[in-house]
Structure 1
Amino acid sequence: MEEYMLSYITCKQINTVKLKGKNNFMSFLSTIFMGKRKSKYTLLIYMVGSDLESEYQEASMNIKDLMKIGSSRHVNVILETGGAKKWELDLISSERNQRWIVQKNNLKLIQDDEKRNMDTNEALSDFLIWGINQYPAEQYILILWGHGLGSVDGYGGDELYGNKAITLFTLQAALKEAFDETKQKFNIISFDACSMAGIETAYSIRHYADYLVASVDYTNRNGLDYKTIIESLQQVPTLSAKELGEVMVNSYRMYSKENGEKEDLQKGVIDLSKIDYIVEIVDSLGEKLLEDIEEHSKFNVIIEARNYSEEYGEEADMVDLADLVSHLDNRLNYKKEANAICKAIEEAVIYNMKTPEHPKGKGISIYFPKHDENRFKEKSLIYQQNEFSLHYREFIKLYSEKLIKGENRNENMYQGT
C-alpha cells in the first residue's frame, strides 16, 4: 500500500503526517483544504436489501423512517443500498450499488456504483473506508441491515448473487481491512437482523467496536426505530455509545409494540471489552466437553443438556450460553465453568431487553447443532473457519460427526422441551 508524507502549515506550527493508502490521503486533503468538519456522529448503514425488500418492502420502510429526521451538522446518516431484485422506492436501483446521504424528507445520491455482491468483504470494507473518510466524526455507528443467520451462516443475503451471506470470517476480514486503512474503531456495531448476538459474532468484531447491539432471536419486521435513534442523537449530541445502545434497544421494543409485535422480543447491548475473558472460559468448557463426549453415556447427557437449553431459531441452531452451561452443570458437574461464564456474561451484557418468552436468556448465545440435520457436516466445516475457541470448535466438529453417525437414538432425550 502506498504511503504519503504531507506537511501543512497552521497559524501556529508546521504539521507532518504519514498516511497509508490513496483513500486516506485524498480524504485528508479534503479535510485540510476544503474545510470538512467533524460531526459528532456518523451513522453508516449497510443495507443488503435481499428478499426482505423485494418481497416485503422492509428496507424501503426503514429508509422512510430515516428520512423523517435525516442528517444534520451533528449527525451524518449514510446509507449503501443493494442486494435486492427490486425496490419499492423508485429512486433506488436494483441494477447498481448506491450510496446516499439521508436528509429530512429526501434521499440524496452521493455515489452510483456498478452492481457487486454485497456478501463480500471487499464490498463491505470499501463502503466502511469510504464512509469513514468522507464523513469524519467523533463517534461512528455501523448498522448491518439484512438477514441474520447466526454464528455459522452469518449475515446478509444478497439475492442477486445467490443469498450466500457474509460469514463471520468474512465479516471480520472486512472490519480488519477497514480498520487497517482508517485506524478507526466503531463505537457501536448493530445488526438490524436476526440471531446475531452470539459469542462467536462478538468475538469476531471485538477489536473493531466498543459495543455490539443485537438480538439472540428473531428480529421483528419493523426493525430498529431509526426515527427515534437519529432524533436522540440530534437532541443530545453528547450521548455516549452506551446510552445510545440503550436507546436503540428500548425504542426497538416500543416500535415493535406499536406495530403489533408484543411477544418474542429480545435485544441487548454487549460490552465487547469483556468478550475475550468469556471465550477463555468457553475454551476450558470445550476442553472438558471433548473429554466427556468420548463416553457414550456422557454424550447422551450432553445432548440432553443442549436440548433443554433455551434455543433460538431452528435454522440458526443457537442456544443461550448461560442456560447451556447451567444445564451441563446440573447433569455433569460443570460448576467451575458454569459459575465463571454466567458471572462474565452478567458483566458483559450491560442491557438485556426481553419479553417473558425468553425466561432464561442472559443475552449471549452460542452455536450448538440440533435441528438442521442435513447441514451438520457443512455447518461444522464453516464453523471451523471462525477465529474462536479452538477446543469448542473441535468439540462441535466431533459432536456433529457423532450426530451424523447416529450414535444417539434416544428420541425422548433428543427432543427436549
Structure 2
Amino acid sequence: MIKLIKTLSTIVVLFVFILAFNNSYADTNKKTAEYTIIIYLNGCDLENGIDLTTGEYNKEATNALNAIISTHFNDSKINIIAVTGGTNKWVLPSPRISTAHCQAWRIYGEREASMELLGNTDPSMKMMDKNTLTAYVQNIIKDFPAKKYVLIFWDHGAGPIGGYGSDQLDDGKSLSISDIADALKTALKGEKIDMVIFACCLMGNFETAYKLKDYANYMIGSEEIEYGDAFEKTLKSLNENPSMHPTQFGKYFIDWNFENYDGRPYTYSLIDLSKIGDIRSNWDLMIQKIEEQMKTKGKKGADAYRNLAIARAFSESYNEQDRASHGTTDMYDLADLISEKCKIDTTSLKKSIKDTVVYNKKCNYRPYSNGLSIFFVDKKLDKNLSLNDNLQKYAPSCFSKHYYDFITSYYNKLFIQNPTNLIGDIALANKYIIDLNPKSYPPHYFIKVDQQDIELVNQIYFLIGKFEGKGKNRYFVPLSIDPDIDFDLESGDITLAVTGKQYCIGGEPVPIYWDNDVNKGKNNGTNFDYKPLGYFAVKYKGNTVFLVVKENSNEKDPTKSNAQIIGIWDSKEDNGKVIPHLSWLGTPPKRGDKINLLYNMGGKYMPGPEVTLDSLTISKSCLPNGEYSGIFYLEDVVGRKVWSAYKSFNIKSSLEIKDSQSAENDEDNMPDEANLDYIF
C-alpha cells in the first residue's frame, strides 16, 4: 500500500492507492523477464467518440487492447501491463474496465485469461494526476522485474504547450511534460528506464526529450499528427527475439506504424536522450548570435527580424490546420534556413541533431522532417498569442529561461508592435488582374509583387466565387480555391491559367482549403512546397464536419488531377469561427451518401446544394455557367493578408471564359478587406 499526500491550501488530503496483486501469479512476477512494457492507456474520446459515418464508437483504445491480446507472446519473457482510465465509457465487452477507477491490468500472451485485473486506485486519483503515474510506474517496476523497461503513453498529444492526454473524468485535464518528468523522477529515484514511447500526436519535440533525458535512455515520438499504433506486429517482432536491444524494438515500432500510413502526414523518430544536451548548447549559441544581430542599430537590426521571420515561415511546420495551439517546427530545417537567411553557421547544431536522432521515418508530405520539432512563434499563432496565453503555457515546458525570454521578446516586437517597421509589407506593383491571353482560351490572369517584397510572400491562392448581400453585409463567397499558380521568384510575376475547371461534386463547386506554401529554393527549385492535403466543409447527417482529401496531382495537366476523400474531421468553434477539430480522423462517407456543401460567408457557413457522393474521388469539371469574380489572395511570413482587385468574368462553356465589361482599374473592384478576413 502506498500513501500519497497532496496539499490543497491548508488542507491535507490522503489518497490510498491499492495494488492487491493476485497470489495466483505472485511467483511469476518475481522472475526477471526480458521486457516489462507499461502502456498508460487514457481512453477519452478516442474510445467513446462517435464515428458519424458508421454511427459506432471509435473504440480505438479497445482496438489497441484487442491487438495486444491477440498477439501470442511468451509471458515469461515479456510482461505487458496496461493502465486504463480517462474515459466515461469503455467499449471493450470483457473484461469490464471501470470508469470510476484507474486500473492496472496484466495482459497474457499464453494463458487463457488474456487480461487480469491487478488493482484499482481510489476514485479521487485521476489518470492525468502525476501522482497516479508515479504510483503505477513505481509498483509495476517493483512487481514485474525485467532487464528492460518501456513506458508507452497512448492518447492525444498536443506538443510542448498542450502536453499529453485528456481526461474526460477530470474536466479534460492533461499531463504537462513537466508533470511527466516529475512523476518519473519520483518513481525511478535516480534510475532510468530504457525507453519512453509517445503513441500520440506532436510529442516528438525537443522540449519533451530534454525534460525526460534524466529518466530514460531513448524516446520515440511523432513531430506530426499520429494515426494508429501497430502494437500487434511490434509485439510479434519482439516475441521472435525478446532479448533485442531497445533501439531495435523502437525501430520495429516505427516501421510497423509506417505500414499503416495511407497518404496522411506521418513522422516518427527514435531519440538518444544521452545526446540531447549537445543540441541545447548549440541551439542556445545560435539564438545568442541572432540576438546580437537584432541589437544592431538601423537596417541591419531590422533585417535580422525580417530574415528570421522568413526562415521560420518556410521551415517544416506541423498540424497545419490547427497550428494556433501548437506552433512547432522542425529544428534541423529551421536551423538550415537560419544559416541561409541569417548567415549564421549552424553546422554544429545540425550535426548534434543528426547524432541524437537514431532513426527517423517520414512521409513524402513532410520531406524536411528530421526527427525533432521545437516550439517557435510563427504567423499562425497571432490571434491566440494576443494575450500571451500560449507563451505563458509554454514557460514550464521550455528548456531554458534564455530561450523563453528570447521567444517572448521576439513575439512582442514582431507581432504586438508594428511589424512593418521591422520587415516591411508586401506591395503589389500591379494589383489589378490583367489577362495576358485575351484573345484565346484559356485566359492567363496576372498580377505582380514588388521585387523587394518577393521573399515575404508565404502563400498564394486564387479564389473564384460570387457576391452575396449588400452594403456592409456584402460578402464574397468562395466557391472554389485554386492553388495551381505560377510564381516567378525572380520577377515577382504571379500568373494563373483560368480554365474554369475546378473540383466539383455533382456539378457543384467545392472550395477545398489547401496548404500551399511558396517555396524558397527547396524541392530542387520548384516554386511551391505543395502539401496535397485539404479539407472542405459539409453538412453530413445533421452535423457540420470537414471532409479530408488528398490530391492525386497531374503536374502536366492540373485539370486532370483528382482528390480522394480519406476521412472526416469534426468541427469546433474558435474565436467565433468554425474550424476543423483534429481529435481523430473519422471514417469517410459511403458512396451514395448525401451531403450539403457549405460555403463560407462572413465567417459563417451558409448551406449550399445537396449532392450525392457517387464516388469518393472528386474530379475537376467546368463550373456551372454564369458570372463569377476572381481574386488573388497572398499571405506574408507573419500572416498578414494582401488581396488583389476583383476580376469579373463569365463562364459560358468549358471552352469559353470572357471578361465582364467592368473597367480594369475601377476602384469599385478593390476588395473590402474587412469582409474578406474570415476566409483564411
User: Aligned partners of 1:33 and 1:212: how far apart in 2?
Assistant: 31
Structure 1 match to 2:656:
none
Structure 2 match to 1:102:
107
- Per-residue deviation, residues 169-188 of structure 1 (Å, max 9, x unmatched): 111111111111xx541111
Residue identity in the other structure for 1:273: S
Does the alignment pair 1:412 with 2:636? yes
Q: 1:289 to 1:297 in 2, by over 3 A?
A: same
Give 2:159's match in structure 1, choosing from 118, 143, 150: 150
Does the alignment pair 1:242 with 2:247? yes
Structure 2 match to 1:119:
128
Structure 1 match to 2:344:
334
Structure 1 match to 2:305:
299
Deviation at 1:35, TM superposition (A): 7.9
**Mapped contact 2:230–2:257 kept (Cα < 8 A):** yes
User: Aligned partners of 2:383 and 2:182: how far apart in 1?
Assistant: 28
Structure 2 match to 1:76:
79
Structure 1 match to 2:392:
381
Q: 1:360 to 1:262 in 2, by over 3 A?
A: same
Q: How does 1:62-73 map to 2 (within 5 A)?
A: 62-69=64-71, 72-73=75-76
Return the structure number with greater strand share. Answer: 2
User: Aligned partners of 2:382 and 2:169: how far apart in 1?
Assistant: 27
**Mapped contact 2:29–2:143 kept (Cα < 8 A):** no
Give 1:61's match in structure 2, choosing from 44, 63, 70: 63
Deviation at 1:132, TM superposition (A): 0.6
Deviation at 1:373, TM superposition (A): 3.1
Structure 1 match to 2:285:
284
Does the alignment pair 1:356 with 2:364? yes
**Mapped contact 2:313–2:638 kept (Cα < 8 A):** yes
Residue identity in the other structure for 2:201: C
Q: 1:367 to 1:240 in 2, by over 3 A?
A: same
User: Aligned partners of 1:344 and 1:100: how far apart in 2?
Assistant: 40
- Per-residue deviation, residues 101-127 of structure 1 (Å, max 9, x unmatched): 012472211112233322221111111
| Structure (1 or 2) with the larger CA radius of gyration | 2
Q: 1:303 to 1:121 in 2, by over 3 A?
A: same
TM-score in terms of structure 2 length: 0.53
Structure 2 match to 1:140:
149
User: Aligned partners of 1:190 and 1:264: how far apart in 2?
Assistant: 19
Greater mean deviation of Cα atoms: 393-402 or 37-46: 393-402
User: Aligned partners of 1:67 and 1:138: how far apart in 2?
Assistant: 23
Structure 1 match to 2:35:
41
User: Aligned partners of 1:250 and 1:34: how far apart in 2?
Assistant: 32
Structure 2 match to 1:325:
335
Deviation at 1:379, TM superposition (A): 1.8
TM-score in terms of structure 1 length: 0.85
Return the structure number with greater helix share. Answer: 1
Give 2:92's match in structure 1, choosing from 89, 92, 100: 89
Deviation at 1:213, TM superposition (A): 1.0
Residue identity in the other structure for 2:219: L
- Per-residue deviation, residues 179-217 of structure 1 (Å, max 9, x unmatched): 11xx54111100000111111111000111111111110
Deviation at 1:352, TM superposition (A): 0.7
Deviation at 1:388, TM superposition (A): 1.0
**Mapped contact 2:28–2:76 kept (Cα < 8 A):** no
Greater mean deviation of Cα atoms: 77-86 or 162-171: 162-171
Q: Counterpart of 1:147 in 2: which secondary structure?
A: coil
Q: Counterpart of 2:174 in 1: which secondary structure?
A: coil
Give 1:163's match in structure 2, choosing from 172, 178, 182: 172
Structure 2 match to 1:15:
none
- Per-residue deviation, residues 227-258 of structure 1 (Å, max 9, x unmatched): 1222222221111011111001001111x14x
User: Aligned partners of 2:37 and 2:28: how far apart in 1?
Assistant: 22
User: Aligned partners of 2:174 and 2:158: how far apart in 1?
Assistant: 8
- Per-residue deviation, residues 347-375 of structure 1 (Å, max 9, x unmatched): 11111111111111111111012223343
Structure 1 match to 2:204:
197
Q: Counterpart of 2:150 in 1: which secondary structure?
A: strand
Residue identity in the other structure for 1:276: G
Q: Counterpart of 1:99 in 2: which secondary structure?
A: strand
Structure 1 match to 2:582:
none
Q: 1:70 to 1:285 in 2, by over 3 A?
A: farther
User: Aligned partners of 1:297 and 1:123: how far apart in 2?
Assistant: 50
Q: Counterpart of 1:96 in 2: which secondary structure?
A: coil
Residue identity in the other structure for 2:60: E
Deviation at 1:311, TM superposition (A): 0.3
- Per-residue deviation, residues 72-97 of structure 1 (Å, max 9, x unmatched): 11000001000112111131122211
**Mapped contact 1:189–1:213 kept (Cα < 8 A):** yes
Structure 1 match to 2:559:
none
Q: How many residues align?
A: 380
Deviation at 1:387, TM superposition (A): 5.6
Deviation at 1:166, TM superposition (A): 1.2
Q: How does 1:219-230 map to 2 (within 5 A)?
A: 219-220=226-227, 223-230=228-235
Q: 1:300 to 1:65 in 2, by over 3 A?
A: same
User: Aligned partners of 2:413 and 2:230: how far apart in 1?
Assistant: 44
RMSD between superposed Cα atoms in Å: 2.4
Does the alignment pair 1:367 with 2:367? no
Deviation at 1:291, TM superposition (A): 3.5
Percent identical: 27
Greater mean deviation of Cα atoms: 378-387 or 311-320: 378-387
**Mapped contact 1:269–1:351 kept (Cα < 8 A):** yes
Residue identity in the other structure for 1:322: Y
Q: Counterpart of 2:263 in 1: which secondary structure?
A: coil
**Mapped contact 1:53–1:59 kept (Cα < 8 A):** yes
Deviation at 1:406, TM superposition (A): 4.1
- Runs of at least 5 residues in structure 1 that lack an aligned partner in the other structure: 3-22
Pick 1 or 2: higher relative contact order, CA cutoff 8 A, min separation 6.
1
- Runs of at least 5 residues in structure 2 that lack an aligned partner in the other structure: 3-16, 50-57, 296-300, 426-634, 641-680
Does the alignment pair 1:347 with 2:355? yes
Q: 1:70 to 1:178 in 2, by over 3 A?
A: farther
User: Aligned partners of 1:211 and 1:35: how far apart in 2?
Assistant: 25
Q: Counterpart of 2:390 in 1: which secondary structure?
A: helix
Q: 1:289 to 1:378 in 2, by over 3 A?
A: farther
User: Aligned partners of 1:276 and 1:298: how far apart in 2?
Assistant: 27
**Mapped contact 1:293–1:302 kept (Cα < 8 A):** no
Q: Counterpart of 1:229 in 2: which secondary structure?
A: helix
Residue identity in the other structure for 1:202: A
Q: 1:120 to 1:300 in 2, by over 3 A?
A: farther
User: Aligned partners of 1:399 and 1:120: how far apart in 2?
Assistant: 34
Q: 1:209 to 1:35 in 2, by over 3 A?
A: closer
Structure 2 match to 1:172:
181
Q: Counterpart of 2:178 in 1: which secondary structure?
A: helix
Residue identity in the other structure for 1:168: I
Q: 1:303 to 1:57 in 2, by over 3 A?
A: same
Greater mean deviation of Cα atoms: 32-41 or 127-136: 32-41
Structure 2 match to 1:14:
none
